[in-house]
Amino acid sequence: MSAYERPKALNIALPKLAPPVAAFVPFLRSGNLIFLAGHIAKLDGQPCVGQLGADRTTEQGKNTARAAAIDLM
């Protein structure tokens, strides 16, 4: 399965690229590593804030982490 077919099989729709809202580099590649910074977890286009275990459930945390990972792709 190709890298293009796999997200479709997992029902993942990649978001459109958004222009940066600040003067920062969204990623830095060093050899075969990519370092990421300055990313905000969003659900339904809104920033997702809270503390896991305090005001966010484990399920909400998993959904937020999945959304952040998809945004980073």
Q: For residue 27, what are the β-bridge partners?
A: 36
pLDDT at 45: 77
**72 falls in which pLDDT band (50, 70, 90)?**
confident
Q: Is residue 55 part of a domain?
A: yes
Q: Is residue 69 part of a domain?
A: yes
Q: What is the pTM of this model?
A: 0.65
Domains contained in the chain, number: 1
pLDDT at 3: 84
CB 42 within 8 A of CB 67: yes
pLDDT at 40: 79
How are beta strands 42-43 and 27-30 bridged, if at all?
Answer: unpaired
Q: Is residue 73 part of a domain?
A: yes
CA 51, chain centre distance (Å): 17
Domain extent, residue 70, equals: 49-73
Read off the pLDDT of residues 14-62 as tens digits, 9 standing for 90 and up: 877 777 677 777 788 999 999 887 777 887 778 888 888 999 999 998 9
